[in-house]
Amino acid sequence: MQQNAAELCTILVRDTYGELSSRVVAALLEYGRSTLYTIVRRVKIPERVVKQTLVVLIQQHLVLHYTNEDGGRDATHYECNWLQIYELLHSGRMVRTIEERFGSEAASVISNFLLLGHARVSDFITAYGISTKPKPNAVLPNGTAISASEATGTAPITSAAQISKHIITLMQAKFLVPVQVHHMHPSVDTENAIRQRVTAEQAGSAAALQAKTKKAIDEKVAEKMEALSSDLDNKNFGLKRKSDQQDGRARKRTKFSAAQPIEEEEWEIDGSIVLRVNNAKFLAIFRNEELVRWAESRIGKTTSLVYAELLKHLEKNVVGHRTEKGLVDGGKKTVVSTLDIGNTLKKDIDLVNSIAAGPAMTNGHKRSMTNGHLFTANDEESEGDSDDYDLDADIDGDDMGMNGTHELSSAAQEKKEQLQNIRKHLMLLADDPNQFVTKQEGSMQYGGWTVDTQKLCEALRIRELEQIVEERFGGIATRLVRIIKDKGKMDEKGLADTALLRQKDIRAHLGVLHERGFLHIQEVPKTAERLPARTFYFFYFDEKMSKMAMLNDFYKAMSRILQRIDHERSLNSMLLSKADRTDVKGHEEELLTKKELTDLAKWKRSEEKLLAQLMRVDRQVMMFRDW
């Protein structure tokens, strides 16, 4: 693990959980997986205190553990989960995302799960001051019966049914997932345990050494490892059907769709399961938000809103899990229809005037858009040609005219125009050189659409890398990186000829790029003596090594920002402690002097700038590491 990343994780744990936890984490990050005895010896803290600290860190999934037999004795090893530690930076953004989508009550639920790490549902509901059992109604002195909520004067969130409803919603959206045994263990230990079981199931140790058997074992292990996370693909994983108390059958409620009403089973949560926050789901949302901003910068605001709605539909059917190599989306590629987007898109979005048509050509075959998109004269007529869906046929028999033909109502006509306009915006996204969406021909309503997130994120990384090189080293350095990335390994002379520059003009840029880790050199000697004068020097671009070099710089920058915030806070510690007093909050103008008010405003501005810069660097870290 990189030293700057370890320093950043130690700072995050210290700011969140205190000095003791940071010392234990620092020891695990520096020396790797260790036993309890080794940790106690290295941190020089009593064993009882170390055990209590490890309990807190395991509860928060910041430390993983695994117990195996070592010489007939059970030995437990502890390992730091540094990727989970880094997610402490995203806590506030996670809560804000849930509040925007599900409201403040659901955001409160997520906030508490983030504080607890993981919790049993029954214990979580009890922690709100209520019980899963219904409370009896109270009675006033005059004999009038009142409900339990009226008696206690509590808000609706204090009802068990209300909290369970929010938890079920978050579970079905995969923001909360049940905790499984392998979540608490390092993935390497889990894989080794599965491999041992699979090997023991084979014909014998001699057969296990054969090439075919080894290949079969590897395939079986990969299949079982994938099955551990495949349960999350089920929307109702961790829930149970709500049964009718009278006849014991599953209770269903009517759900109205665009075509006809259907019955949907109701679900309830099992109070014995343990839940935690699914960080990979939030990483997928942050990635989609970045893609929407990119689409807005290239095409426009309205088209980006349509794109955001498409990505929201894809989020419902995709459950990701996270590894050190990045975010891995599970499940098959999902196709979203134009009709699905039209059913959920806000009605106040101006889809028509956001696409400005240019003057039609004199021959009448083509008309040009101001954003460069070309429509043929019969584009609108051919928009639905590849789709079997007919909106006119979806109208009731009451709309049948006297001549036996369908006559569209105003609402149906408005719906048809909306779908056509949505399709135009999606075609703009598909025709972009970056290909934000891909059209799927078939029987989907007004076309089906998919998004290749892996390809888009790769293009995002290349775009961001070129911007970083240009800001640090200038335009010539960016040109050299692009040429080497496209052409492959090149010597100085060939690179100068391709870039149309002199060798002495590019030599300094190549040296700086090599020193900072953006370019690398391969030496090919002409003779066996390996003399410098008789050696070819080829420059090449290694994306993986360049990413590691940039991530190392990012981690260092974030550590320095957090340290600067702590330093500024220590300089104003007396003022901040006074401003945080309950009798001063809200009355700063009356109880603080002018100098104190000026210093407090200056501190808030400095903290805001530093935190904004921290979030900018965090965006780049997610782009190069997680997406």
Q: Which helix (H) or strand (E) holds 69?
A: strand 63-70
Q: Among 58-72, 98-112, 249-263, 609-623, whose mean pLDDT is lowest?
A: 249-263
| Distance of alpha carbon 100 from alpha carbon 120, whole angstroms | 26
Residue 161 pLDDT greater than 90, yes or no: no
| Distance of alpha carbon 358 from alpha carbon 355, whole angstroms | 10
**What pLDDT shows up at residue 206?**
53
| Distance of alpha carbon 602 from alpha carbon 250, whole angstroms | 61
Four-CA torsion 199, 205, 206, 207, nearest 10 degrees:
-20
Q: Do domains 3-80 and 455-541 have the same CATH topology?
A: yes
| Distance of alpha carbon 382 from alpha carbon 387, whole angstroms | 10
Residue 83 pLDDT greater than 50, yes or no: yes
| Distance of alpha carbon 100 from alpha carbon 107, whole angstroms | 9
Encoded amino acid at 103, one letter? G
**What pLDDT shows up at residue 31?**
92
**What pLDDT shows up at residue 410?**
81
Helix axes 543-571, 453-473, angle to 10 degrees: 70
| Distance of alpha carbon 384 from alpha carbon 269, whole angstroms | 43
**Which is higher by pLDDT, 156 or 12?**
12
For residue 280, give every residue at least 6 positions away whose Cβ sits within 8 Å of its Cβ, in sequence order, or none. Answer: 319, 320, 321, 322, 327
Residue 453, judged by CB atoms within 10 A of its CB (0-12, 13-18, 19+), counts as: buried
Q: Which helix (H) or strand (E) holds 476?
A: helix 475-487
**What is the torsional sign of CA 469, 475, 481, 485?**
positive
Residue 595 pLDDT greater than 50, yes or no: yes
Confirm if 578 and 572 have CB atoms less than 8 A apart.
no
Residue with tokens 């196709």: 335
Q: If you average pLDDT over residues 534-546, what whole number do you get?
A: 90
pLDDT, tens only, 404-429 = 445 557 878 888 888 888 989 999 99
pLDDT, tens only, 547-588 = 999 999 999 999 999 999 999 999 988 998 988 888 888 888
- Evaluate whether the domain defined by 455-541 bears CATH number 1.25.40.10: no
Mean pLDDT over each residue of the chain, to the nearest integer: 80
Domain ranges of the chain: 3-80, 88-135+156-275, 280-451, 455-541, 547-626
| Distance of alpha carbon 421 from alpha carbon 498, whole angstroms | 45
Confirm if 620 and 557 have CB atoms less than 8 A apart.
no
Residue 225 pLDDT greater than 90, yes or no: no
| Distance of alpha carbon 550 from alpha carbon 4, whole angstroms | 12
Residue 446, judged by CB atoms within 10 A of its CB (0-12, 13-18, 19+), counts as: buried
Q: Residue 368: which pLDDT band, with cuts at 50, 70 and 90?
A: very low
Q: If you average pLDDT over residues 311-336, what whole number do you get?
A: 69
**What pLDDT shows up at residue 134?**
46
CATH number for 3-80 (one of 1.25.40.10, 1.10.10.10, 3.40.50.720, 2.40.170.20): it is: 1.10.10.10
Q: Which helix (H) or strand (E) holds 239?
A: strand 239-241
Confirm if 334 and 314 have CB atoms less than 8 A apart.
yes
Confirm if 355 and 369 have CB atoms less than 8 A apart.
yes
| Distance of alpha carbon 59 from alpha carbon 119, whole angstroms | 9
CA neighbours closer than 13 Å in the CB half-sphere of residue 293: 9
Four-CA torsion 449, 450, 451, 454, nearest 10 degrees:
-160
Question: What percent of the chain has a predicted confidence (pLDDT) above 90?
Answer: 41
**What pLDDT shows up at residue 64?**
94
Query: Whole-model pTM?
Result: 0.80
| Distance of alpha carbon 19 from alpha carbon 538, whole angstroms | 49
pLDDT, tens only, 84-95 = 999 999 999 999
**The pair of three-digit structure tokens given for residue 121, joined into one six-digit string:** 């549902």
pLDDT, tens only, 433-485 = 999 999 887 656 567 888 998 899 999 999 999 999 999 999 999 999 999 99
Encoded amino acid at 93, one letter? R
Q: Residue 204: which pLDDT band, with cuts at 50, 70 and 90?
A: low
**What pLDDT shows up at residue 327?**
65
Q: Which helix (H) or strand (E) holds 328?
A: strand 326-329
* 3-state SS class at 518: coil
Confirm if 142 and 295 have CB atoms less than 8 A apart.
no
Confirm if 539 and 491 have CB atoms less than 8 A apart.
yes
Strand ranges (DSSP E) for 361-478? 366-369, 374-376, 438-440, 448-450
Q: If you average pLDDT over residues 577-606, what whole number do you get?
A: 88
Identify the CA nearest to 346 among candidates 295, 312, 380, 387: 312
Question: What percent of the chain has a predicted confidence (pLDDT) above 70?
Answer: 75
Distances 139 to 17, 146, 151 between C-alpha atoms, Å = 45, 6, 9
Identify the CA nearest to 322 among candidates 273, 274, 277, 275: 277
